[in-house]
Structure 1
């Protein structure tokens, strides 16, 4: 009987996009014994010079994971892959594409017999050591084919606690969209609590310690809370961060889907609107959100002049 480790040893994958997450994913896959051929527009980190070279370096039938910014860049990569891959190959979009884009990309690749999957990936810059939460959409056959890759990327422990085959194409990115909408709301709640505690310095003498004491035994404990404590220990008053927070799109898409389906999401809606407020004037709460985004995802922050 073939073990999971033996399956990984026999796997090969092409990885397009070697940025913060992509490069860490390459390292984690290699640790599991998977042969990774990486391509990036930055020649300093790329294994091959072009996507055509990437295709040539992989044995058919190929699996190519795309980990580039959503939108025009993903469109360009998928279009180019459609021209250099062959029937029976599989493309997995692991970026933050909108689920409606998956329908378009799947149809585009299907014209030449190339299979397609979408994978929502959570874990940020910590995924290298902790593993990545994975939500995938596609056929059962494609999932089974790529499972050694998913098992290498997901956290240790029961598969069902770090990986889910959500449904058909588009469902993985849909689940990740909702995941990020929830994430927005959780971050905002912690941030508002921080501002209230920080405001009452006449009563609260240890804001960082208060949050730290919530890490065990309380109902609000979470990994985000741990990251907030880490950020506070590095900069207790967030003196080096402006309260300016961007959004990557999923929060907006979640609200749009909620409106389209008449589902009330007042908390998620409030969190995205709070980010818009952050771009107008500085706010202690938004400094906390900015610090959290930097901690879990390595997102850039605006430094105070």
Structure 2
């Protein structure tokens, strides 16, 4: 079996390597000459035997849309394109409608695993027709984590891979996954801050590490926080600026559209916005109002600057 892979960044390159380890030939293309096996999409298609499967791992938005359009002009009926990036689920319908009349299948694949996926495997949430998913199943099997077993030794079905539904379902599932991730990270961050704010706790990294075994809040994210604190116990080497990749916003948009209450995820998204404000206009207004109605003291900019540590 062969797989064409477009986009050999950190995640794409690791995915290509994991698939190769499973005995599947991978032909990779990237705009960077040092990473690629072929020097054009045309050469990529020529190197694959039909029916072809081409996995796209490029930035979401227009880069992905342009790549799908170009591949749609190069591929043949019976071939399949998989978008494994973080595309918005509404783009998937557009891609399927573009490719369908040409007889080219389309699968949207939400992928989680990050830089650790090469060794641990990738959680996969896919959307598309059963026929197209079946064509690509050996690739999904190569990428997903090893099948876990319960205490009696029986395999746990479905762990690490799901055919979530028709086109768009994979990216929608990944969107919700990332929204949940936002809220979990925010909760861990707030807990860390409170531990660090009191004199009572003498070993903050140790407390966080103690939660990784036997507690109800243990998780891989918690393991990663422990790792970060081992490298930088007071997190002094980084700033508190946190970007958002889009899925958190889209999750909240869908919650509003479907009248689903989502206070924790919404708050975690807004907290990221707040992280980018060196001096919050909202809190300026709050301080001004407190001064107006209650005569509460406000801190002038000059005073704030004077009180900053040298």
TM-score, structure 1 length as denominator?
Answer: 0.88
Alignment correspondent of 1:189: 187
CA shift at 1:19, angstroms? 0.3
Alignment correspondent of 2:150: none
Find 2:261's aligned residue among 255, 260, 264. Answer: 264
2:116 paired with 1:126: yes
Find 1:98's aligned residue among 80, 88, 96. Answer: 88
2:162 paired with 1:164: yes
Alignment correspondent of 2:41: 51
- State the alpha-carbon separation in 2 of the partners of residues 194 and 281 from structure 1: 21
- State the alpha-carbon separation in 2 of the partners of residues 104 and 198 from structure 1: 48
2:102 paired with 1:112: yes
Find 1:221's aligned residue among 212, 218, 237. Answer: 218
Helix, strand or coil for the counterpart of 2:107? Answer: strand
CA shift at 1:112, angstroms? 1.3
Find 1:80's aligned residue among 63, 70, 91. Answer: 70
8 A Cα contact 1:137 1:166, kept in partner: yes
- State the alpha-carbon separation in 1 of the partners of residues 143 and 264 from structure 2: 31
Alignment correspondent of 2:29: 39
Structure 1 gaps of 5+ residues are 1-10, 283-305
CA shift at 1:111, angstroms? 2.4
Helix, strand or coil for the counterpart of 2:27? Answer: strand
Larger radius of gyration: 2
Deviations 1:121-179 (A, max 9, x none): 00000000000000000111111111110000000014511000000000000000000
Q: How does 1:244-283 map to 2 (within 5 A)?
A: 244-281=241-278
| 4+ long deviations beyond 3 Å | none
Alignment correspondent of 2:5: 15
Alignment correspondent of 1:208: 205
8 A Cα contact 1:151 1:159, kept in partner: no
Greater relative contact order (CA < 8 Å, ≥ 6 in sequence): 1
- State the alpha-carbon separation in 2 of the partners of residues 188 and 107 from structure 1: 38
How many residue pairs were aligned?
Answer: 272
- State the alpha-carbon separation in 2 of the partners of residues 146 and 79 from structure 1: 20
Q: CA RMSD in A?
A: 1.1
- State the alpha-carbon separation in 1 of the partners of residues 27 and 139 from structure 2: 14
Is the alpha carbon distance of 1:35 and 1:159 closer, same or farther for their aligned partners in structure 2, counting shifts above 3 Å? Answer: farther
Deviations 1:32-84 (A, max 9, x none): 00000000000100011110110000001100000111001001100110111
Deviations 1:258-277 (A, max 9, x none): 00000000000000000000
Structure 2 gaps of 5+ residues are 148-155, 280-310
CA shift at 1:110, angstroms? 1.3
Alignment correspondent of 1:6: none
